[in-house]
A and B are shown apart, each in its own frame.
Chain A
Amino acid sequence: MRELINMIVVLSLISGASGLSLAYLKEVTAKPIEEQVLLNVQGPAIKAVFADAENDPIADRKKFDTAEGQITVFPAKKGGKLTAVALEAFAPGYGGQIGVMVGIDMAKGTLAGIGVTTLKETPGLGMRVTEAKYQKQFKGLALDKVGLSGKGGTVDAVSGATISSTATVVAANKAIEIYKSLKPKLEGAF
């Protein structure tokens, strides 16, 4: 009996100590991790969208409340003035959600471009939505004309990957909707 109690006590102590230290470590690293994720996951997509921003879109980011929850908006400035914003939207693809960073040129009212942040599509097929050749088609599109060719738009889907391509278009349009609803607040916020 004594042995059993001993075992339970030791195991519980060790588990408890481990649990506490890990929870503490999690607290301490939460902020650096958030920054690093933004830098390495969203970062490359943002760079693809804002080639000529004079500020740091990630450092200047702000959160806004929308009907669907909080959304982070990344601004691009030129000469101190807000020229474009980027926000991330998701849509279901073939192998899970596809995250698309959508850049919107505010002055011209067109798409500045898209970048893909996260996806789990089929290699060689759906994954090709990350290629520059596919994403280039989104640059400069009018905001209400973003769709696949044959479905009211001009974007050619990746052959053999209609679902993944549709997902990027759906995500882009979602982002555009959110942008339109936030537009009045954006001007003054940055």
Chain B
Amino acid sequence: MDYFLMLISAIFVNNILLAQYLGNCPFLGCSKEKGVAFGMGAAVIFVAVMATAFTWIMQKWVLEPYGLGYLQTLVFILVIAALVQFVEMFLKKMVPPLYKALGIFLPLITTNCAVLGIAILVQRKEFGLGMSLYYSFVASLGFTLALMLMAGIRERLIIARLPKSLQGTSIGLVMAGLMSLTFFAFKGMIG
């Protein structure tokens, strides 16, 4: 598939968060400030691409040849959990500045449905390894974009006068809905 088309599709038309519903918990929790949002987004890109690589290899070299396809969910989540542990330890020892920036987000990415979701999605779409890595990268970019946009909006919402019931997650969700609506406009771009 055309690479540019996939880029546009993954970021705007089929945004992993705003259109495919993956990655909502960190989205609403980490989007209060732009700095935190960028950290979470970067961590997701980092982990998602690596997770896709390892899970793809597991699927093609271990699960399928031995007829263990039904264990996909179990094996994938274990791979992701182990990967995140190793990355944390590695960063802590080898690249402390990066660890300081991304470290706190890493444990939460284990249960981030975006990471596991992307890993399973590329299997369902039957992508090759290169295409899977590319897709995971652009999809996570889309996630980061949505996160940054949301952070920008919410930084301004804090000083707005909202009724107490609407504050926090509620207005966040309504904002996400309106953002999702604007992204809908991109659907006409492709095909």
Contacts and interface: CB of A to CB of B under 8 A. Distances in A.
Contact of A123 (B1, B71, B126, B191): B191
Contacts of A120: 125-126
A18 B74 contact: yes
Secondary structure type dominating chain B contacts: loop
B1 A95 contact: yes
A22 B72 CA distance: 12
A96 B71 CA distance: 23
B191 A95 contact: no
A122 interface: yes
Interface in A32-50: none
Interface of A: 18, 22, 26, 94-96, 120, 122-125, 160
Contacts of A26: 70
A160 B191 CA distance: 9
Q: Which 4 A-B pairs have the closest CB atoms?
A: A124-B191, A96-B126, A125-B191, A26-B70
Nearest to A26: B70
Nearest to A19: B71
B126 A22 contact: no
Contact of A122 (B70, B71, B74, B191): B191
13 contacts: A18-B74, A22-B70, A22-B71, A22-B74, A94-B1, A95-B1, A96-B126, A120-B126, A122-B191, A123-B191, A124-B190, A125-B191, A160-B191
